[in-house]
Amino acid sequence: MTGDTMRILHVLNHTNRLNGHVHAAVDLACAQREAGHAVAIASGGGDFDTLLTSAGVETMVLDHRRRPAVLAASALALHRLIRRWRPDVVHAHMMTSAVLAWPGCRVAGIPLITTVHNAFQKSAVLMGLGTRVIAVSAAVGASMQARGIPASRLDVVLNGTIGSIRQRGRERVPVTLDRPVILFVGGLHPRKGLPDLLEGFDIAWARHPEARLCIVGDGPFAAEYRAMAGRLACARAVTFAGAQADPFGWMLGADIFVLPSHADPAPLVLPEAREAGCAVIGTDVDGIPQLLGDGRAGIIVPPRDPQAIARALCDLLGAPETLHRWRANSQADIANLTIARVMHETSDVYARALADRGRPLGAIVM
């Protein structure tokens, strides 16, 4: 390490779009490179490799397929990469990445930083292999402590994406939609709670038939959710737009953004919805309240409660001044959701890990 510059090696399973942990890792790596650090990503490769290369981030292929022979070969390959590239820190973003990186870091005496992006997975405890463990929200930090990760090795760095390199040059043109529009952006699988929104919207639509619901995203339950919407009285007011490479234009064209998740450690979609100026409704789970300023920047409702979603929608749809106020509220302390803040706080974690280098790892509860 020379002066304040570092050599940082990120390890993650792939660099494809439409995965929140990938977006977070790519944003961080590019911000670190812009700050003058030498940065590389070892992964299975994917959509963002061209962007990473253009930003000056080195990309290296590391197979993450969960087959014993493949993992053994990849762990050895990563060990050799660490010896050759000589990073100051290695930063692993998923469980397999942490397992692959741990032996090489131990042998080389290099701190391993892990970020817990998906605390709802049982295997997230493997992130405790890190010298220091980053939780993407306070709720994730509490969850990891409950699983046996010592508080002394945990740091909370709240997710933020505003100002990231992925967003530069994007057209800030709203998608033209029939208004008022309620928007959902996310994967179409049970954890995101879309059926709760469909039922809640159906209730609200009975009082406000001018309202429209637009669903952006795709996933394994897409056909089931389309069929579910088709059986509701509000069916003609619901549009499934499919996956979009950049849903920000849809957010700019929407009035209300709803995230009805049952579990969501710190969804990056919320900073973007707030940046777009939507009034935001989110469930009281995991990192969602923290990303909504604990209710100052968005309306928080109980999870799995379509009636509560309906009441919040009706409050906004029935009173233009209330809708306007919550759209303005979405901007409260929005500077806290920038990638610059994430990068600086992560640098502080690296500094603590380097200061602690050589101290034995605490026991890991498996």
Number of domains, the chain: 2
Answer yes or no: is 233 within a domain: yes
pLDDT 10s digits, 175-196: 999 889 999 999 999 999 999 9
Helix ranges (H only) for the chain are: 20-34, 49-54, 68-85, 95-108, 138-146, 194-207, 222-230, 248-253, 269-275, 288-291, 306-317, 320-329, 339-355
Inform me whether the pLDDT recorded for 364 exceeds 70.
Answer: no
| Residue entry with tokens 């600086």 | 344
Answer yes or no: is 119 within a domain: yes
Residue 163 CA to its chain's centroid (Å): 15
Interval 91-102 mean pLDDT: 96
Domain of residue 35, CATH code = 3.40.50.2000
Please indicate, yes or no, whether residues 43 and 106 belong to a single structural domain of this protein. Answer: yes
Answer yes or no: is 53 within a domain: yes
Nearest Cα neighbor of 301 from 205, 217, 199 is 199
Please indicate, yes or no, whether residues 156 and 183 belong to a single structural domain of this protein. Answer: no
Please indicate, yes or no, whether residues 324 and 344 belong to a single structural domain of this protein. Answer: no
Contact in structure between 214 and 178 (CB atoms under 8 Å): no
Q: Is the peptide bond before 220 cis (omega within 30 degrees of 0)?
A: no
Per-residue pLDDT band for 362 (boundaries 50, 70, 90) equals: very low
Answer yes or no: is 185 within a domain: yes
Please indicate, yes or no, whether residues 55 and 88 belong to a single structural domain of this protein. Answer: yes
Please indicate, yes or no, whether residues 331 and 347 belong to a single structural domain of this protein. Answer: no
Host domain of residue 233: 169-336
pLDDT 10s digits, 156-166: 999 999 999 99
Please indicate, yes or no, whether residues 150 and 54 belong to a single structural domain of this protein. Answer: yes
Identify the weakest region by mean pLDDT among 16-20, 111-115, 195-199: 16-20
What CA–CA distance (Å, rounded) separates 136 from 318?
35
Please indicate, yes or no, whether residues 65 and 133 belong to a single structural domain of this protein. Answer: yes
Exposed, middle or buried: residue 363 (CB in 10 Å: 0-12, 13-18, 19+)? exposed
| Residue entry with tokens 């849809």 | 250
Answer yes or no: is 330 within a domain: yes
Q: How far is CA 107 from each of CA 6, 76, 79, 86, rounded to the nearest angstrom?
A: 20, 12, 8, 12
Interval 244-264 mean pLDDT: 95
What CA–CA distance (Å, rounded) separates 193 from 267?
14
- Three-state DSSP class for residue 38: strand
Answer yes or no: is 131 within a domain: yes
Please indicate, yes or no, whether residues 29 and 65 belong to a single structural domain of this protein. Answer: yes
Please indicate, yes or no, whether residues 322 and 174 belong to a single structural domain of this protein. Answer: yes
Inform me whether the pLDDT recorded for 366 exceeds 80.
Answer: no
Answer yes or no: is 85 within a domain: yes
Interval 134-159 mean pLDDT: 96
Inform me whether the pLDDT recorded for 122 exceeds 90.
Answer: no
Check residue 358 and give its pLDDT.
Answer: 52
Bridge partner list, 40 = 9, 58
Answer yes or no: is 365 within a domain: no
Inform me whether the pLDDT recorded for 72 exceeds 60.
Answer: yes
Per-residue pLDDT band for 3 (boundaries 50, 70, 90) equals: low
Please indicate, yes or no, whether residues 332 and 342 belong to a single structural domain of this protein. Answer: no
